[in-house]
Structures are given as C-alpha cells and as structure tokens.
C-alpha cells in the first residue's frame, strides 16, 4: 500500500475507532456453530477457540451458526487462504430461509500469489440480489487475522473491515425499496471451488497441486438479537448498534475509502442495467 493510502486509512481509523471498535468477546466455535459439510475438512481446534475450513479436489467444507439473528453487530476474525489460491472462494454471510430469502454477503475471491484479493459484497432482499460491490483490501488478508463485521439494524446495513465502514445499504422502504427486517438469519461460511468464474472471470483455474487450501477463523462475536421461535430476544439495555446511523462525516469518510479501494459498483454498471439503475442507486 502506498504512503497516501496509509495516511487515509490512519486518519479514518482514528476517527472511527470510538464508534465501531468494542472489546471482542469470543464465542467458542463448538458452542456457537455446527460444521455442516465437508467430510471432516472443517475442524474445531484449541478448545473451541479456532475453526478451520479446508478444500481439496474431492470437497470443500462449511459451517453455520446454531442461532438465528434478527439485527445485530456481528464480528469474525478470518485469515484467508495463503499462496496461490486462484479459483477458490471463501464465503462469510448471513442468510434467512425460504424462496424469498434475505442475505448479507462477504465473499473473498482468491488469487494468484502476489495479486490482490477481491472482496465481494452483496445484499439480497426477498430473494433479489444484484447489488454487488467489490473492493481490494489494503493489507494481505492471508498474513494475519482481520475482523470482518456486519452492523444490521432498522436504519441500515454496514459492512466493516477492521472497524472501518466500507459499504452502507440504507433502509429506504419509504421509497418502496425492500429492506431485510422480518426474517431472522443464520451465519454461514464455506470454502469451495469456483474456478468457472472466481478468478479473472474463470480464466485462471484452481491449481490442485497446492491443495489442501485452508482458511482460519477466530474471535467470533454476535452482539445481536437472537431469534427464538420467530421472536427476537435482544441484549439487555440499549446497545449502540441498535440505533446507530451515519452522520454526514461518517458517510463522507466511507466514500473516501470507496474511492480508493472499490473496484466494482453495480450502481455504475450501465451495461448491466441498460433500462436504468436500481432505484436505490440514485438516493443518497
């Protein structure tokens, strides 16, 4: 990262720390998650403090939360697949059930050694997505753990990386734009082969001689409303995330990050939307 980028992020981090950083209290993976597929390729280690997912030619692997959430501030520290991981995808997302599901996505499109990772984000409401934004990260996400977070309340959804907001999806129901607010979601993650499209549009295939590919997880925290039989139970008191909104300064700071690191925005892809951009694209 160049000196200018370092300065930008230093300024933003200092400004945003008091708003978004809070002490991390890790929920152990054996208590909070089930490994749902992979034939032993997903492992819970270190007395539940660490979880790893692996991918080889035969299969990938994945896990899901035991609980469902309806609004919250959810953090996970992830160390992505190192080395030549082109063709593989690591996902980390919230999703509800059914044909008209809601979903909040992080996907990490893995890379050739030395190339930047692409972090793909998306929001689905009532089964409709097509709201992709992609970013290059300002650090090597394979060298150490970094925190990837979702803040989700009645006002907006915020994607954060190490406490820095990179994307906001506002509740614009008053403009007849659906917003996820009724369907509880589980947290999911998976590591799988997607070399048909993941790296340079599928031009770079998975090099199976580098397998197994492994991603690691630690320090999960869900300060959230947990849904029991369809009724959410929220934390005691009034957590700050529940009423959080961006002020103008915070929105402007986020746009600085987007100008520097965003590499795709559905709201500027005129080829994809020849009849006009989605309605939310014109609302600030």
Q: Name the more confident of 92 and 113.
A: 92
Q: Which helix (H) or strand (E) holds 45?
A: strand 42-45
Cis check: omega of the bond before 263, within 30 degrees of 0 = no
pLDDT at 25: 47
Q: Provide the Cα torsion 195, 201, 204, 210; round to 10°.
A: -40
Q: Which two tokens stand for residue 16?
A: 């945003």
- Is 107 tagged catalytic? yes
pLDDT(24) > 50:
no
pLDDT tens-digit series, residues 230-282: 778 888 777 899 999 999 999 999 999 999 999 999 999 999 999 999 999 98
pLDDT tens-digit series, residues 172-206: 999 999 999 999 999 999 999 987 655 556 567 78
Which residue in the list 103, 132, 173, 251 is annotated as catalytic?
Answer: 103
Phi, psi of 157 (to 5 degrees): -110, 130
Residue whose token pair is 């809070």: 22
Interval 57-76 mean pLDDT: 97
> How many percent of the chain have pLDDT more than 90?
74
Which residue in the list 32, 49, 68, 107 is annotated as catalytic?
Answer: 107
Euclidean distance between CA atoms 30 and 17, whole angstroms: 30
pLDDT at 252: 93
pLDDT at 159: 98
- Is 103 tagged catalytic? yes
């Amino acid at each position: 990262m160049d000196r200018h980028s370092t300065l930008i992020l230093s300024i933003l981090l200092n400004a945003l720390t008091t708003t978004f950083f809070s002490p991390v209290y890790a929920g152990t993976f054996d208590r909070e998650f089930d490994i749902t597929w992979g034939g032993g390729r997903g492992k819970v280690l270190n007395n539940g403090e660490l979880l790893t997912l692996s991918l080889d030619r035969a299969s990938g692997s994945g896990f899901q939360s035991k609980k469902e959430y309806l609004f919250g501030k959810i953090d996970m520290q992830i160390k992505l697949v190192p080395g030549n991981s082109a063709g593989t995808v690591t996902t980390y997302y919230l999703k509800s059930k059914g044909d008209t599901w809601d979903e909040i996505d992080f996907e990490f499109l893995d890379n050739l050694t030395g190339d930047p990772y692409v972090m793909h984000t998306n929001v689905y409401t009532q089964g409709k997505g097509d709201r992709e934004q992609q970013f290059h990260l300002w650090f090597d996400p394979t060298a150490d753990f970094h925190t990837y977070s979702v803040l989700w309340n009645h006002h907006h959804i915020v994607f954060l990386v190490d406490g820095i907001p990179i994307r906001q999806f506002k509740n614009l129901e008053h403009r007849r734009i659906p917003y996820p607010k009724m369907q509880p979601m589980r947290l999911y993650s998976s590591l799988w082969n997607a070399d048909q499209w993941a790296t340079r549009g599928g031009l770079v295939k998975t090099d199976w001689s580098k397998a197994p590919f492994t991603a690691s997880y630690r320090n999960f925290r869900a300060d959230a409303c947990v849904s029991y039989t369809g009724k959410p139970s929220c934390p005691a008191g009034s957590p700050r995330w529940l009423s959080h909104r961006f002020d103008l300064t915070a929105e402007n700071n986020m746009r600085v990050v987007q100008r520097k690191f965003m590499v795709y925005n559905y709201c500027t892809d005129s080829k994809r939307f020849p009849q006009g951009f989605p309605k939310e694209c014109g609302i600030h």
